[in-house]
Each structure stands twice: as C-alpha cells, then as structure tokens.
Amino acid sequence: MHIAYSVLSEGVVDLVYVQGLFTHLEVMWDLPEFRSFCEQLSSFCRLIVFDKRGMGMSDRVQAGTLEERMDDVRAVMDAAGSVQATLLGESEGGPLAVLFAAAHPERTRALVLCGAEVRERSGEDWPWGDSTDDDFEVDLAGLPDRWASGSFIDIIAPSLAGLDRVRSWAKRQRLNSATPGAAEVFVRMAREIDVRALLPTIQVPTLVLHRVADKTVHVEQGRYLAANIPGARYVELPGADHAPWSGGADIAAEIREFMTGVREPARPERVLATVLFTDIVGSTERATAMGDRGWRDLLEEHHRVVRQELARFRGREIDTAGDGFLAVFDGPARALRAGLSIVEAVRSLGLEVRAGVHTGECEELGDKLVGIAVHVGARVVALAQPSQVLATSTVKDLVAGSGIELRDCGTHQLKGTAEPWRLFAVIRA
C-alpha cells in the first residue's frame, strides 16, 4: 500500500500536518487559502502533509482503524527522514495525532490540536458531539446526494462560503478525495472514536487551539482536551471557521510561537502594494458559444495557467471574480512582467486577456485587499485593449531603469477618482 505525502521547505524542525476527514494533496494545494496556510507554517519548520489511506492520492483501500492509520503516520515520517516531529491534528485528525503522541512519545516533539475532536457521538455523558445516532443515520442517508455539492464548505469555512471560486473548489475537492461509498465507511469508523481515556497519558508539550463558534466541532471539545491533557496550553480564538486554513494567520502565528518561542510581528493593516488585475476578453460571447460545461473546463485551465505565472513572479492571488484575477506583488516590475507573461501564456488556450497594474496604499482585511489602489487598478484593466498590459504613471515612475519599455497612452478620467490619470502600455519587459 502507498501513502501520498509532500514535504515543504527544509527547516530543522519537522511538523506533520494530520488533516481532517477528506483530502487530496493536489486539489487542496489549488486553494489559495490552504496554500497560504501551509506556506506560513513552512516558513518556520519543515512541513509534512499527506493523504490518509483510502483518501486522495493515496491507495484507495479501506480507510483502516485508528491504529493502522497511526502506523501510516510513522511510515510517512520514516519516508520523509523525520526522526521526531510536532504533530498538528485537525478535526478528525486530532484523535489520530493524540494516539500517535501517546503511543510514540519518543517520536513526538510536541502536539498541536486545532478544532480537534474528542468524540463525535452525542450522549448523556457527552453532550458536545455532532449528533445522536438517529440524526446521524438520517444525515448519512443524504450523503451521496450532497457529495458533489460542495455544501460542506458552509460549516468548515463559513467565512469563505460566499465565494464562487471556493464553492467550485469544494465540489472538486470532494469528488477527488473519495467516493461516497468510501466516505460512508470512513465516517462510520470515525464516529466510533473516543480518545478521552488517552488524554491523561500524553507526555509531550501540547497546544490546543479552538475557535469559539466552530460550526463543526463544539468549542467544549477543545476545552475538554486542554483540561485533560497534562500541562496543555489552551488558546481560544474568535470566529466560526473550523478549517485552520480559513483565516489561518492567527492559527499559524500561535503554532509558530509554540514551536519556536517567537511570534511573527503582526502584518500592518495598511501596506504599499502593486495590484494586478486580469480579465478575459469576450468571455460572455465565448461562454455562450461553448456552453456551460465547455466554458467551465476552459476557465479551470485558464485559472491553472494564470496561477502558474503568478507563482513564477512571486504574486499572491487575492481573488478570482468570474473570469478575472486580482493579485498583489511586492514590486511593480514583477507585476508588469507577470502581466505580459499571462497574456502570452493564455494564448495557447485560444484566449485573450487584458491586464491593469497600479501601485498604491492598500488595506488588508484578513485575506482581502481593499482601498483606493485596488479601485484604481480595477478601472485601469477596464481601459486596457486586448492583450495589453496597462499601467498607471505611478508604476511607470517606479520601474525606471528596469529595462521595461512603456508607451504613453495619454490621460484618462477613471470613474470614481477626482483627478485624471496618465496611463502607459507595456511594450517590452
């Protein structure tokens, strides 16, 4: 049997990320929020992520018992050359991380439990489970019909549930993680887990993180973990998201401080940034001609190509609205080069895009970027011609000496701005 795993960065301290029920390494990485969370973790450790047996890119065998899956964690560590690691147990991965820490303290440097379960089944002695047996059976009967709907995002990441790109990703994630039949077997197995008796035996330093309004695992489960693991540190965070990667900056900061003793300075709310907007030319007509399915497939390929180019030039994806992208860069020259590269790359798909670039002060609200600079960037891309990268005079002044050639396109009154802006088209970078 084969277990799929991935190692990020080359830090001296290892962190094994034991995720929740259903995963697929490649599809998970397509979600910017998950990718950002992993990158934050890998900035201070060597991060090891994997698909449990029966899930994602691992062999599609029966899900296995808690003990068998614990052996899989050990096998992944051996394959990755990890002698000792901190375990990050999320949701249903929490009990698995607890068992590993209790059974293998010599290989467990520390334990981090985030939105972790103790027991799923509700009962007289455990009022904080997710359902009674009768309610569970009713819910499970509807699992096949819900499997490809992406509705699970409403309870694991409600702060992201309103974004079309996230709902689209959620559908793809479920379809690739497992079949409905395999999911039913796994869910039934997970429901039988109860790690209350193991908690007093934990001998390693432990951090318990839980959001107070978690919609998937009741906060009392987190409080119980902290109260019953000797010496555990408990941090209760605001919010209703269950997934640590949804609004994960606070969680990554807590893990960093726990593992290294150093807390990363808070990012300033207002920053100087270069924004890049892209937009597909003639998208409505193309979608009508191709039909919903054909257009959706082409759009997914477009998104893949754009993200590949953003990564090349160190751009950070902020949002994908319909058929366009908003990305941010720490330098205007990289943004211009990324814009030109995207224009060229999507031609292989038979598509044409326009791009707009502006540098200015932005305000960061969680994973969102707002402010006049974002507004200006959106107006600039609307004026760009097909296959053109259009930039403001601010950008032009900042890239002097970079070798990037720009052509003056005159002054334009951008909607919503008081003063006219001089715009420049990128000729060559």
pLDDT the model gives residue 262: 83
3-state DSSP assignment of residue 159: coil
Domain assignment present for residue 387? The answer is yes
**In this structure, are strands 353-365 and 368-370 parallel, antiparallel, or unpaired?**
antiparallel
pLDDT the model gives residue 250: 86
Determine the Cα–Cα distance for residues 197 and 412; give it in Å rounded to an integer.
Answer: 70
- Whichever domain contains 40, its CATH number is 3.40.50.1820
Question: Domain residues for 200?
Answer: 5-260
Distant-in-sequence, close-in-space partners of 42: CB < 8 Å, separation ≥ 6: 8, 9, 11
C-alpha distances out from residue 330 to 59, 315, 362, Å: 41, 8, 12
Domain limit, last residue, from 194, 227, 260: 260
Domain limit, last residue, from 260, 290, 316: 260
Tokens coding 229: 């693991």
What does the pLDDT look like over 14-36, one tens digit per residue? 999 999 989 999 999 989 899 88
Closest to 104 in 3D by CA, of 12, 198, 17, 221 = 198
Residue 246 φ then ψ, to 5° = -90, 110
The yes-or-no verdict on residue 271 having pLDDT over 90 is no
Tokens coding 363: 């305000």
Distant-in-sequence, close-in-space partners of 379: CB < 8 Å, separation ≥ 6: 356, 414, 415, 416, 417
pLDDT the model gives residue 368: 76
Average pLDDT over residues 66-78: 92
User: Amino acid identity, residue 101?
Assistant: A
Query: Which ranges in 30-163 belong to alpha helices (H)?
Result: 32-42, 66-79, 93-103, 133-141, 143-146, 153-156
Domain assignment present for residue 118? The answer is yes
- Whichever domain contains 387, its CATH number is 3.30.70.1230
The yes-or-no verdict on residue 125 having pLDDT over 70 is yes
Same-domain check for residues 327 and 358: yes
Same-domain check for residues 194 and 285: no
The yes-or-no verdict on residue 266 having pLDDT over 60 is no
Output the average pLDDT for the chain: 91
- The answer to which of 151-155, 215-219, 339-343 has the lowest mean pLDDT is 151-155
Contact 82, 45 (CB under 8 A): no
A 10 A CB-CB count for 366 gives 11
pLDDT the model gives residue 151: 87
Terminus-to-terminus CA distance in the chain, angstroms?
49
pLDDT the model gives residue 205: 97
Average pLDDT over residues 271-280: 91
Classify residue 86 as exposed, middle or buried by CB count within 10 Å of its CB (0-12, 13-18, 19+).
buried
What does the pLDDT look like over 350-383, one tens digit per residue? 999 999 999 998 877 666 788 888 999 999 999 9
Average pLDDT over residues 407-414: 93
Average pLDDT over residues 306-330: 90
3-state DSSP assignment of residue 239: coil
Same-domain check for residues 178 and 312: no
> Per the structure, how many domains does the chain have?
2
Same-domain check for residues 235 and 284: no
Same-domain check for residues 280 and 254: no
The yes-or-no verdict on residue 315 having pLDDT over 60 is yes
Closest to 25 in 3D by CA, of 4, 7, 43, 9 = 4
Same-domain check for residues 50 and 158: yes
Same-domain check for residues 152 and 247: yes
Same-domain check for residues 180 and 124: yes
Determine the Cα–Cα distance for residues 396 and 377; give it in Å rounded to an integer.
Answer: 14
Same-domain check for residues 154 and 180: yes
pLDDT the model gives residue 248: 65
Strand partners, 389: 355
Residue 199 CA, chain-centre distance (Å), reads 30
Same-domain check for residues 186 and 62: yes
pLDDT the model gives residue 132: 86
pLDDT the model gives residue 267: 53
Radius of gyration, alpha carbons of the chain: 24
Domain assignment present for residue 265? The answer is no
Classify residue 277 as exposed, middle or buried by CB count within 10 Å of its CB (0-12, 13-18, 19+).
buried
pLDDT the model gives residue 364: 74
Same-domain check for residues 74 and 112: yes
Domain assignment present for residue 106? The answer is yes
What does the pLDDT look like over 33-42, one tens digit per residue? 998 899 889 9
Contact 25, 49 (CB under 8 A): yes
Which strand ranges, in their side-by-side order, compose the sheet holding 14-18?
5-8, 46-50, 14-18, 85-90, 108-114, 206-211, 233-237
Residue 29 φ then ψ, to 5° = -65, -20
Same-domain check for residues 70 and 214: yes
Determine the Cα–Cα distance for residues 244 and 221; give it in Å rounded to an integer.
Answer: 16
What does the pLDDT look like over 156-165, one tens digit per residue? 999 998 888 8
